[in-house]
């Protein structure tokens, strides 16, 4: 719906990213494209978090609407994943960052509705930032009119469709496919679908068309991993719970899911493992010293008592 330019703010002496609405999408004052751009700016303005792209200004120049935001020197999370081999721990750690950005949005009543790896930017500083809130929804905004037309074709599965169902079909929850009401548990579904794909390099639901895909999602028919054991059973079960067709069966919140992922991250972190082994080694050494002292005491005490008795007798 738009194009993003790198720009320079001469007054504040900083580089920015400026998103402009494509002229063809702005045929009237309240066109669909303009509404989406304004929605993104308003959503971003409500969230202040290191893992969310920061907005600086929204305005217009002549007939051109623009949003000036943080310029991230980096790549989409999808490109980061493909750039080189990534360990399971690295993937989970990066998605944890993105998840914290989503949780921050949820805390102010913002639902992203289109979370996927392409909508997360990984900076050269190693920090993930959730972006592209163009489909974001404010929970307190009341009912929303949506167009129920469905995209068709294989390419549409992995692409956000303007004016169609809200989201990217490959990652959408069942309620999104039905154009039903959504809450943060729908973002949780999107998040788990994206993380599942990042870990197993296969999308959780198959389908050559959007309708086939929607049927698989509604039935909860998750594709099995290409190789068993690619992720610990606990991590796999956590993702499957987030991909439940019934929102009530998912994690009570994305924050609750992140707690489970953080436990895995801590368990698989080399530094934490070294600390754990060091503590265990110290504990073993301490127990050994105590045990040795007890044995030494048992051997020495009788001898000392015997010497004492001999001295007393003499």
For every one of its 314 residues, what pLDDT tens digit does the chain have, with 9 covering 90 and above?
678 999 999 988 999 999 887 766 555 444 566 777 777 777 777 888 999 998 888 887 877 778 888 999 999 999 999 999 999 999 999 999 999 999 999 998 889 999 999 999 999 999 999 998 867 776 654 444 333 334 445 445 555 544 445 789 999 999 999 999 899 999 999 999 999 999 999 999 999 999 999 999 999 999 999 988 889 999 999 999 999 999 999 999 999 999 999 999 888 765 544 444 554 455 445 445 455 455 445 555 444 443 343 334 44
114 carries an active-site annotation: yes
Cα–Cα distances in angstroms (integers) from residue 8 to residues 16, 72, 118, in the given order: 6, 13, 25
How many C-beta atoms surround the C-beta of residue 271 within 10 A?
8
Decide: pTM greater than 0.85.
Answer: no
Considering only CA atoms, which of 25, 27, 19, 23 is closest in space to residue 3? 19
- Could you list the beta-strand ranges (E) of the chain: 2-9, 14-21, 55-61, 64-70, 74-76, 110-111, 120-123, 128-130, 137-138
Out of 114, 118, 132, 187, the active site residue is 114
């Amino acid at each position: 719906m738009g194009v993003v330019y790198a720009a320079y703010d001469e007054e504040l002496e900083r580089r920015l990213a400026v998103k402009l609405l494509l002229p063809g999408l702005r045929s009237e004052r309240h066109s669909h494209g303009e509404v989406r751009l304004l929605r993104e700016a308003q959503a971003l303005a409500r969230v202040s978090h290191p893992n969310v792209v920061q907005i600086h200004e929204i305005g217009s120049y002549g007939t051109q609407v623009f949003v000036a935001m943080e310029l991230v020197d980096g790549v989409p999370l999808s490109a980061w994943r493909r750039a080189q081999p990534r360990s399971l721990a690295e993937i989970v750690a990066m998605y944890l960052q993105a998840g914290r950005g989503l949780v921050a949005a949820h805390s102010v009543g913002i639902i992203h509705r289109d979370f996927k790896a392409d909508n997360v930017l990984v900076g050269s500083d190693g920090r993930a930032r959730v972006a592209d809130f163009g489909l974001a929804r404010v929970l307190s905004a009341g009912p929303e009119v949506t167009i129920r037309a469905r995209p068709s074709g294989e390419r549409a599965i992995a692409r956000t469709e303007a004016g169609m169902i809200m989201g990217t079909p490959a990652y959408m929850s069942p309620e999104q496919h039905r154009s039903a009401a959504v809450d943060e548990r729908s973002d949780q579904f999107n998040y788990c679908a994206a993380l599942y794909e990042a870990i197993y390099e296969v999308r959780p639901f198959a389908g050559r068309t959007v309708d086939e895909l929607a049927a698989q999602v509604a039935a909860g028919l998750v594709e099995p991993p290409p190789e068993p054991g690619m992720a610990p059973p606990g991590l796999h079960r956590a993702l499957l719970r987030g991909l439940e067709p019934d929102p009530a069966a998912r994690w009570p919140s994305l924050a609750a899911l992140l707690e489970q992922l953080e436990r895995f991250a801590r368990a698989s972190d080399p530094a934490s493992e070294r600390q754990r082994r060091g503590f265990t080694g110290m504990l073993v050494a301490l127990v050994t010293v105590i045990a040795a002292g007890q044995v030494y005491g048992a051997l020495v005490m009788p001898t000392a008592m015997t010497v004492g008795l001999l001295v007393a007798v003499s």
